[in-house]
Amino acid sequence: MFLLLANSALYHLGEGADAGGEPAPVDLAQAQFSIDLVRLLREKTEGHRSPDESRLLEGILYDLEMRFVRAARSR
């Protein structure tokens, strides 16, 4: 689930392509929504993840947040 939401956020940050191979349009509101869902799932799964899963999740969330900041600043 985390990876699905992360991929959605990346797509909306313009870091992907649509089915036709065209660059994805940037949609910061949708990207923020996906990132917020990752944060919510992090909270709801606290105590139920392995240490490796927690490290992976924290890394993904940090990366998404930094990419969001860069995308927002470049607009």
Confidence of residue 58 (pLDDT cuts 50, 70, 90): very high
Mean pLDDT of 26-54: 97
| Calpha distance 37→12 (Å, rounded) | 14
The pTM for the full model equals: 0.91
What angle in degrees, to the nearest 10, is found between the helix axes of 51-73 and 2-12? 10
| pLDDT value of position 19 | 83
Helix (H, G, I), strand (E, B) or coil at 16: coil
Confidence of residue 43 (pLDDT cuts 50, 70, 90): very high
Confidence of residue 16 (pLDDT cuts 50, 70, 90): confident
